[in-house]
Structure 1
């Protein structure tokens, strides 16, 4: 059974932060010393707010489906699927109102009822491929 508090926070993360672009919700959901671990290195709350400003300029009409939850101690892993419409501004890729799909896994680490750390692995390369930024038929698919 998944902790009701952890589940509620994960749902707010997707429904408020991603879908609505509500960056103020991060102040409620995350600890003061919150750290996001990403491919570009570690960042905090303010960088996550800046990211959302960029994201809202590049994508819109996003919807998210939370597919699976796995809880272990203070961690909650969420496998998700999202759909969004690209409106331009990413690697100079022209916008044609392309609907794209993102899949990924987020691992939330909780401390005192708030998110203290977050890891995210997602399908950015698949989105770039769907937008035509990566050449078709250039690699084998297993």
Structure 2
């Protein structure tokens, strides 16, 4: 059983932060020393707000579905699916109002009811493929 508090945080992350672009919710849901561990480097609250500024310029009309939630100790794992419209501005890929699908897994680590750390693995390569930035029929996908 998933705790209601952790579920609410995950739901707000997707509905308020992603869908609405509400930057204030980052401060509400995370600790002051929050760290998002990305492939490139560790990021903080301000970096997450900067990311959302970019995201909302590049994608719009996003819809998110939380497919699975798994709780263990202080962590909540969320497998999600999202659909959004590409508006341009990513790797010079021309915008043709393409509707794209993202899938991913996000891990939230909590401390005192707030997110202290977060990790995310998503399908950026699949989105690039859908947008035509990667050549078609060059490899098998499963």
Q: TM-score, normalised by structure 2?
A: 0.99
Q: 1:140, 1:67 → 2: CA distance?
A: 25
Q: 2:113, 2:87 → 1: CA distance?
A: 36
**Which consecutive aligned stretches of 4+ in structure 1 deviate over 4 angstroms post-superposition?**
none
Alpha-carbon offset, residue 103 of structure 1: 0.1
CA RMSD of the aligned region, Å? 0.5
Secondary structure at the counterpart of residue 11 of structure 1: helix
Unaligned residue ranges in structure 1 (runs of 5+): none
Secondary structure at the counterpart of residue 80 of structure 2: strand
Deviation per residue, 1:68-94 (Å, 9 max, x gap) = 000000000000000000000000000
Deviation per residue, 1:51-79 (Å, 9 max, x gap) = 00000000000000000000000000000
Residue 44 of structure 1 aligns with which residue? Answer: 44
Alpha-carbon offset, residue 141 of structure 1: 2.4
Residue 109 of structure 1 aligns with which residue? Answer: 109
Residue 131 of structure 2 aligns with which residue? Answer: 131
Q: 1:129, 1:39 → 2: CA distance?
A: 20
Secondary structure at the counterpart of residue 108 of structure 2: strand
Q: 1:61, 1:16 → 2: CA distance?
A: 13
Residue 31 of structure 2 aligns with which residue? Answer: 31
Count, aligned residues: 142
Q: 1:140, 1:133 → 2: CA distance?
A: 16
Secondary structure at the counterpart of residue 88 of structure 1: coil
Secondary structure at the counterpart of residue 141 of structure 2: coil
Residue 100 of structure 1 aligns with which residue? Answer: 100
